[in-house]
Amino acid sequence: MEVIWKAKDFGRSFKNPVLTLGNFDGVHLGHQRIFQQVCRKAKEIGGESLAYTFAPHPVQLLKPGQEPFLLLPISERIRLIGEAEIDVTICAPFTQEFASLTAEDFVRDILHRQIGVRQVYVGHNTSFGKGRTGSVSLLKEFGKRYGFVVEAMEAVEVKGTLISSSRIRRLIRQGDIPGAAELLGRPPLLIGEVIHGFGRGSKKLGFPTANLKIDEVLVPQPGIYAVWAVYQGRRFPGVANLGWNPTFQDHKFSIEVHILNFDKDIYGQTLRVEFVERQRDEVTFRSPEELITQIRKDVEQAKKVLGID
Ligand code: ADP
Ligand code: RBF
Ligand code: MG
């Protein structure tokens, strides 16, 4: 997939472009359904499939200082859009200048003149342009004026639940990993660089943990989780702790993964952690020995959850 990190002036033209527009945070099943439609239509008319997205997320520019809420860092959003077989992702830097484009400016200058769009697929509740005044019906009007077709997609349901990024955020905040995975169509995940902690995991407890530094994204409810750790494309079973290590009075939130049957120095490397199930709350133990006994049980439980022996 080609990625263009610009709002406009792409320096190339597009062949019969079929486009979708959105934040696509999480690249959940609903987004995936839209990408499928876009790709199918592009094939049908011998055109290119395009996703037009924004970074940072508009809320980060317009209402700064909020708790991190994104489901994925932008790099992972783009990687997953690529997996959905979109030909070109345009990632527009969401600046004050960009935010001040009216819905009509955006459609006329960018979708029509710069891209020459033929067909647009959007969610039924899409809004865009300054003050979010652009709606599906307005887009349809512009479509008549500028010569493109607009299709509004109905929200996708899973077992009677409408899929939305905000619903998925809520489930992840509550630690309902299977619930979130069902709406995402993939496991919830965190990606980060392995950084140094106090060195206590291996030296004091006998359970080394890869400590992660992550981008500003939503973190699941603190606690102990069964996970898959993906390192250099290989998947290893693991057990993660998201918390403050109260037994040692760290007072610092950490994201740590003990990888099973693994013994490599991976400081400075990227680790991807796919969450499977929450096992328990983090608790304060009276001694490191009691914590060690519990971690042994956590490991056994994680193995069961992950289906390994
Ligand atoms: P720190 O406090 O710096 O995280 P740890 O004692 O927890 O130190 O050891 C973690 C480091 O050990 C990891 O960053 C990794 O490089 C290495 N390591 C070796 N085996 C494992 C394992 N099975 N799981 C996680 N990390 C491991
Ligand atoms: N620390 C705690 O203080 N309380 C816990 O309940 C706790 N549970 C853990 C469970 C697992 C599976 C792992 C890997 C770690 C856990 N820890 C817990 C974190 C532990 O204190 C930490 O890994 C070490 O202090 C090294 O940073
Ligand atoms: Mg560690």
- Global pTM reads 0.94
Q: Is residue 170 part of a domain?
A: no
**Whether residues 153 and 10 fall in one domain:** yes
Q: Residue 297: give its domain's CATH number.
A: 2.40.30.30
Distance of CA 146 to the CA centre of its chain: 33
Residue 191, ligand 1, Cβ within 6 A? no
pLDDT in tens, 194-253: 999 999 999 999 999 999 999 989 999 999 999 999 999 999 999 999 999 999 998 899
**Whether residues 61 and 154 fall in one domain:** yes
Provide the domain count of the chain. 2
Q: Is residue 195 part of a domain?
A: yes
Which residue has a Cα nearest atom 13 of ligand 1? Answer: 210
Q: Is residue 166 part of a domain?
A: no
CA of residue 193 to ligand 1 center, whole Å? 12
Tokens of 225: 């989780």
State the Cα–Cα distance between residues 28 and 31, nearest whole angstrom. 5
pLDDT in tens, 135-185: 999 999 999 999 999 999 998 999 888 999 999 999 999 999 999 999 999
Instruction: Decide if 39 contacts 31 (C-beta within 8 A).
Output: no
Which residue has a Cα nearest atom 11 of ligand 1? Answer: 210
- Ligand 2 test: best mutation among 211, 247, 284, 306, most atoms within 8 Å of CB? 247
Which residue has a Cα nearest atom 20 of ligand 1? Answer: 263
pLDDT in tens, 293-309: 999 999 999 999 999 98
> Directed axis angle between helix 165-173 and helix 177-184, to 10°?
160
Set 76, 256, 274, 277: catalytic member: 256
Q: How many Cα atoms within 13 Å fall on the side-chain side of residue 92?
A: 23
Torsion sign over Cα 108, 76, 220, 204: negative
Tokens 């619903």 map to which residue? Answer: 167
Give the 3-state secondary structure of residue 256. Answer: strand
Whether 97 is a known active-site residue: answer no
Q: How many Cα atoms within 13 Å fall on the side-chain side of residue 258?
A: 22
CA of residue 282 to ligand 2 center, whole Å? 7
Residue 271, ligand 1, Cβ within 6 A? no
Domain that holds residue 127: 2-161
